[in-house]
Amino acid sequence: MALVVEDGTGKTASESYISVASANTYHDAHGCPAAWKEARDNEKEIALRIATQYLDSFYHGSWIGLKASELQALAWPRIAAYTVDGYLISGTVIPVALKNAVAVAALKELESSGSLSPDISDIGLIESTEIEVGSVREKIVYSGGKTGLKKFTLLHSFLRGIVQPVGFVERG
């Protein structure tokens, strides 16, 4: 099944913010990692679908502006969307930063299948706690480390200009 790419019209069946050809261009310009270069087009399409789903889910409620249409399949295009620098993003445009983020996320998915949608594990669960009241002491031991959440710094840094800052409150 061919990948349905959002083109800014608010398609009801969109699956990705970027095409395989555009993702190829992005990765070619950034050293064309082996995982991307060696993947077949259908594998890339699947990774782009997963990456788009991941970003729409992760940033649900944090994207700037409003969905352009109630019927569109994805979170973008958006209206009344201003970048942190104060520039209006047209309601018929998918920001380049979002397309790049999808390309990077798709690569992560190809490099490690399931990395964008891991199953819940015991990593990060509290194994034991120790509290002392006199001269205040607290000790928490986590199983396998403090957190089981993966952080994709480059991926999320692309989106800083199109998501609401942490702690942002909009009043009407």
| Digit-coded pLDDT (tens) for 67-125 | 999 999 999 999 999 987 889 999 999 999 999 999 999 999 999 988 887 655 545 55
Report the pLDDT value the prediction gives residue 111, as an integer from 0 to 100. Answer: 94
- Mean pLDDT over all residues of the chain? 85
SS3 sequence of the chain: CCCCECCCCCCCCCCECCCHHHHHHHHHHCCCCHHHHHCCHHHHHHHHHHHHHHHHHHCCCCECCEECCCCCCCCCCEECEECCCCCEECCCCCCHHHHHHHHHHHHHHHHCCCCCCCCCCCCCCEEEEEEECCCCEEEEEECCCCCCCCCCHHHHHHCHHHECCCCCCCCC
Record the pTM.
Answer: 0.79
